[in-house]
Amino acid sequence: MFIMLIWGLVVAVWAGRSLAVGCPQPPAPLSFPLADTQVNPRVPGSLMRGIPVRIGTPPQNLVMLPWPDLNNTYIYDDQTACNTKLIDNDEICRVRRGGYYYETESTSFTKTTDVIDAGGAPVEIDTLGSESGIPKLVSSSLAGTDRFAAGDKEPVTIPVGIPRLQWDGGFTISHALGLGPNSTYLNALVAARQIPSRVWSIFWGRMWMGSADMDGAIVLGGYDKEKVIGENFTAQLDYSENMGCWTGMRVIIVDVIANFPHGADVSIMSGNLPVRSCIVPQRQLLWEVPVDIATELRKKAGLVSSSPSMSITAFHALATMLNTTASDSVFDGDLTFVLSSGLRIRVPNNQFIVPRIGYAEDGSRVVDQSQKDLLVYSVTNQQPSTLGRYFLTAAYLMINHEAGTFTMWQGNPSRKSTLVPVSQTSEQCSPESSGDGLGTTDNHTTDDGESGGSSGNNGGQNEPESDPTTETSVSIGTIVGAAVGGAAGLACIVALVMFCLWKRRRQRGPETGGFLPDDGPVAYIDNTGPKEIGSLPPMATELVAEDLRPELNGDFRGYELHGSGPYGGVLNRGGY
Ligand SMILES: *[C@@H]1O[C@H](CO)[C@@H](O)[C@H](O)[C@H]1NC(C)=O
Ligand SMILES: *[C@@H]1O[C@H](CO)[C@@H](O)[C@H](O)[C@H]1NC(C)=O
Ligand SMILES: *[C@@H]1O[C@H](CO)[C@@H](O)[C@H](O)[C@H]1NC(C)=O
Ligand SMILES: *[C@@H]1O[C@H](CO)[C@@H](O)[C@H](O)[C@H]1NC(C)=O
Ligand SMILES: *[C@@H]1O[C@H](CO)[C@@H](O)[C@H](O)[C@H]1NC(C)=O
C-alpha cells in the first residue's frame, strides 16, 4: 500500500515534468555591478569603472564597458598601444583599458582565422558619429574563442576579437562588451539558458562623492525595478543613418532647465530648436551638445571656462574645464532634461560638475578637488549630440533586442535590487506558461503585475519620426537663414575648424608614430577618433590651408565659439 503510494507520487511528478517539457522554466535575469575596480593588483589606486569579468583558463580578471553599438566583444591584449597623445604611459593605458588579456596564457583560447570564423557577428555598425574604426574591427582583429564570465557567473564560450588597431577616439578605451542587436554574448547566454532574453539594462551609479559613491549595475534578461520611478518611455531602436544615432537610441530634448538651489528654474535652451541626442552609455561625459546651447548653459549658470578650456588627456577628456576663481561660487544646481515624450530626467549637480580626474605614472587615479570640470562638450551643428554615461546617473535604461525597443525611466539611485525578467516576444511555449509567469522564477522578483513582458507591444508611445515643433521652427529659420546663410555658413566653417583644432600635447616631442592608420596630419580629434585635414569638407580644407595653417602650430585648446544663434558665431580666445 505504502509502496503504491510512493509509486503514485513518482508517476505524478514524472507526468507533471513531461507535460512541462515543451516549456521549461525560463531562467532568471543576471545582475552585475558596474563598479570602480582595481586593475593592477600591485597598485591599489589603479581604478576603472566597469563590469568585472573573468576570461580564459585559468581565469584572468578584466574590467569592461558595455557597448550597445557593437555585436562582438573586443578585448585588448598588450599588443595594441594606446594613443600616446592622449595616454601618458603604458601603465595608465593598461588601467584605462581595464587590464590586459594574455590570450597565449589561456589554455581555453582557440585561435581562429578571424572574428567570423570564431562564430562572431559578421557586421558592425557604420553610422556617422560612431567610432571611426568600428567597421574595420571584424576584419582586422586577431580572433578566437575563449571562456568568459561576467561577475561570478558560469562561463560561456564566446568569440573574442583582439583589436590590432586604435579603433576608437582614444577616450573610452576600455574593453568593449558588445551588447548590440546580434550580440554574441547575449546570444550565448540565452543559448546556455543563463538569461531569459536578449534584453539588458543599465544604471551607471554615482561617482566622485567619496564615501557616498554608489555602484551602478547591468542587468541581463530584464531590469531592476527598485531603480526606476514612475512611467516609462519606450521607443523603437533605430540604427538607420537618417536617425543619426548609432546606438539606435535617439531622443529629442525639448528643454534643459537649470534648477538653482533657491528655487529658480531657468531654461538654457531659450530660442533654440529641440536637440536630437543619441544615448551612448560608454561616452565619458554627460552631454555633447551644440555649441550655442553649451554657451547658454555656462552663461545662465554663471560658469566660466578656464584657459585653455578643455583637455584631451584628462579622464573626462573634452569636458569643459572651469575657472573656479573667476566667479564667487560655482553653480550648484541640477540640470533637468525634458524629453519630447514628457519624461523629465534631473541630473544632480555632482554628476556633471566634478573634480578633475587624472592618472599618476603608476596608473593610480588622481582626484584633484581644487579643479572642476563641466561634463559638457560643445559640438558643431553638423556633429551628432550625445547623452553619455552621466545621464545614466539619473535615468535608467533598458534595451530590448527581442522587441527592438528601448525603454527609459527616471532613475532611482537605490542600493536595493528587485530583478524583473523580460520574456522573449516569440515564446515557443503555450501562452499560459509564458509572459507574467516568468515573475515567479526569481526570488528577487515580487510583483508579477509589473513584469515587463509587454514592453514590446506599446507602439503607442513611440517617438514620432519628425517632431512637429522642429519642422515649424525650421521653416521660420529658413527665411531668416537665407539672408545670412552664406556669410554665416562660411564663418561657421572657419569657426568649426578652429574650434576643433588642437595642437598635440605641449609636453610631447615629435610624434612617435602609430597615431593615425594612415599617417596623415591631424586636424582635430573627437570621440569618433582623430580627423585628418583631408577629411574635412573641401572648403574647410582650403580655409585651413590658406588662413589657418600658421595657427596649426599654435595652441587651439583655448578657443571657444561665442554663439550668436544656431548658424553663427565669432571666435575668441578664453572664456566668454
Ligand atoms: C549587428 O548585427 C546586425 C545583424 O548582422 C547588423 O544589422 C547591425 O548593423 C550590427 N550592429 C548594430 C549596432 O546593429
Ligand atoms: C548574427 O551573428 C551570427 C554569428 O554570431 C551570424 O551567424 C548571423 O548571421 C548574424 N545575424 C545576422 C542577421 O547577421
Ligand atoms: C581665471 O579667471 C581669473 C579672473 O578672471 C583670471 O585672472 C585667471 O587667469 C583665470 N584662470 C584661468 C586658468 O583661466
Ligand atoms: C534566493 O533565496 C535564497 C534563500 O532565501 C537565498 O539564499 C538566495 O541568495 C536568493 N537568490 C538570490 C539570487 O539572491
Ligand atoms: C512601459 O509603460 C507601458 C505603458 O504604461 C506599460 O504597458 C509597459 O509594461 C511598461 N514597460 C515596462 C518595461 O515596464
Question: Which domains can be identified in the chain, with CATH numbers?
Answer: 30-195 (2.40.70.10)
Ligand having the closest approach to the CA of 309: 3
Q: Which three cell numbers stand for residue 570?
A: 565669432
What's phi and psi for 543, nearest 5 deg? -65, -40
Question: Which pLDDT band, with edges at 50, 70 and 90, does 525 fall under?
Answer: low
Question: In the prediction, which pLDDT does 312 show?
Answer: 86
For ligand 3, atom 8, the nearest C-alpha belongs to 326
Question: In the prediction, which pLDDT does 420 show?
Answer: 97
Q: Give the number of the atom of ligand 5 that is nearest the alpha carbon of residue 450.
A: 14
Mean pLDDT of 411-420: 97
What is the whole-number distance in angstroms between the Cα of residue 252 and the centre of ligand 5? 20
Q: Which three cell numbers stand for residue 465?
A: 519620426
- Asked if pLDDT for residue 564 goes beyond 70, the answer is no
Place of cell 561576467: 150
Q: Rounded to whole angstroms, how far apart are CA atoms 127 and 567?
A: 24
What is the whole-number distance in angstroms between the Cα of residue 430 and the centre of ligand 2? 27
What is the whole-number distance in angstroms between the Cα of residue 239 and the centre of ligand 1? 9
Mean pLDDT of 410-429: 86
Place of cell 588627456: 313
For ligand 3, atom 2, the nearest C-alpha belongs to 326
Of 327 and 100, the structure prediction assigns the larger pLDDT to: 100
Mean pLDDT of the chain: 78
Question: In the prediction, which pLDDT does 356 show?
Answer: 96
Q: Ligand 2 pocket: which residues have CB below 6 Å?
A: 119-123, 182, 184
Q: Give the number of the atom of ligand 2 that is nearest the alpha carbon of residue 159.
A: 5
Task: Calculate the CA 253 to chain-centre distance.
Answer: 17
Q: Give the number of the atom of ligand 2 that is nearest the alpha carbon of residue 120.
A: 5
With b for 16 or more beta-carbon neighbours within 10 A and e for fewer, the 532-542 pattern comes to bbeebeeebbe
Distance (Å) of CA 120 to CA 77, 117, 194, 400: 18, 7, 19, 20
CA-closest candidate to residue 169, choices 514, 504, 529, 515: 529
Ligand having the closest approach to the CA of 184: 2
Mean pLDDT of 564-570: 25
Q: Rounded to whole angstroms, how far apart are CA atoms 537 and 540?
A: 5
Mean pLDDT of 304-318: 91
pLDDT more than 70, % of the chain: 70
Contact 407, 202 (CB under 8 A): no
Distance (Å) of CA 314 to CA 170, 367, 505: 11, 11, 12
Q: Does residue 443 have its Cβ closer than 6 Å to ligand 4?
A: yes
Q: Give the number of the atom of ligand 4 that is nearest the alpha carbon of residue 443.
A: 1
- Asked if pLDDT for residue 47 goes beyond 90, the answer is yes
CA-closest candidate to residue 287, choices 295, 277, 301: 277
Q: Ligand 1 pocket: which residues have CB below 6 Å?
A: 69, 71, 121, 123-125, 180-182, 239
- Asked if pLDDT for residue 445 goes beyond 80, the answer is no
What is the whole-number distance in angstroms between the Cα of residue 305 and the centre of ligand 3? 9
CA-closest candidate to residue 203, choices 353, 413, 56: 413
What is the whole-number distance in angstroms between the Cα of residue 557 and the centre of ligand 3? 15
Q: Rounded to whole angstroms, how far apart are CA atoms 140 and 164?
A: 6
